[in-house]
Amino acid sequence: DAGVIQSPRHEVTEMGQEVTLRCKPISGHDYLFWYRQTMMRGLELLIYFNNNVPIDDSGMPEDRFSAKMPNASFSTLKIQPSEPRDSAVYFCASSPRTSGGQETQYFGPGTRLLVL
Amino acid sequence: RKEVEQDPGPFNVPEGATVAFNCTYSNSASQSFFWYRQDCRKEPKLLMSVYSSGNEDGRFTAQLNRASQYISLLIRDSKLSDSATYLCVVNRASGGSNYKLTFGKGTLLTVNP
């Protein structure tokens, strides 16, 4: 298996522009997670999906952020408009169906976003 | 109080040393616990789960104290390849659809030759 695939790997954009991050989870995994990692705040969960349905988006920082999962093999995280404080590494992770939360989350390589 | 707190580090140790990382969590409802490892500019990867009775995987030993809300990771005979950031992770899963991992900010370990 190719693992979790994210694109782009690097993104540099100007403040105010729309940014779309993409993720392909591991085939057969029921859960998909979006995280953001910064030096100041560490790794934070933004939103997660179960069977393509958003379950918890309480970590999404504000209305400028939105995430979708139109099918089991694709998800997007969109920032519109982007701001310099959105600069971070964004990770997508997937996990098989959980029974008590012991299953491993498999992370993609991340997208390094820089907003100028 | 932060939900998951770790030693800030960094830890610099010689090869062969034993090093211990500590972590505390604030939510007593937390139900499962993990250590993840993150290499520089890479994604986090599961190192090991942490069970109530304590568990060992080769040179790595993890322990959990629910009463004190404390988790530890011990690395014996450290290798150069152990150099990484170690993330303490707590899950408040209550079965089925509630599945949220909370990560500590990590402790950087550098093993020197």
- Examine the pLDDT at B10 and tell me if it is beyond 50: yes
What is each CA distance from A7 to A4, A28, A45, B8, B10, in whole angstroms? 10, 20, 19, 31, 31
* B29-53 confidence digits (pLDDT tens): 888 899 999 999 999 999 999 988 8
Measured between CA atoms, how close is B15 to chain A, in angstroms? 27
B97/A contact by beta carbon, under 8 A? yes
Instruction: Please calculate the CA angle A47-A48-A52 and round it to the nearest 5 degrees.
Output: 125
- pLDDT value at residue B93: 59
Q: What is the pLDDT of residue B4?
A: 93
pLDDT for res A62:
85
A36 φ, ψ to 5°?
Answer: -130, 140
Rounded to an integer, what distance in angstroms lies between the CA atom of residue A109 and that of residue B25? 27
pLDDT at A102: 59
Residue B97: predicted pLDDT: 47
Q: How many residues does chain A have?
A: 116
pLDDT digits (tens, 9 = 90+) for B99-112: 678 899 999 999 99
The pLDDT value given to residue B96: 47
- Residue-wise pLDDT for A2-38, tens only, equals 899 999 999 999 999 999 999 999 999 999 999 999 9
Please give the backbone phi and psi of residue B83, each rounded to the nearest 5 degrees, phi first: -60, 120
Tens-digit pLDDT profile for residues A62-116:
899 999 999 999 999 999 999 999 999 999 999 987 655 556 899 999 999 999 9
Residues in chain A closer than 8 A to B95 (CB atoms): 98-101
Residues 6+ apart with CB under 8 A from B103: A42, A43, A44, B4, B36, B44, B87, B88, B89
| Chain A nearest CA to B18, separation (Å) | 26
Q: What is residue A38's predicted lDDT score, i.e. its pLDDT? A: 95
CB contact under 8 A, A101 and B99: yes
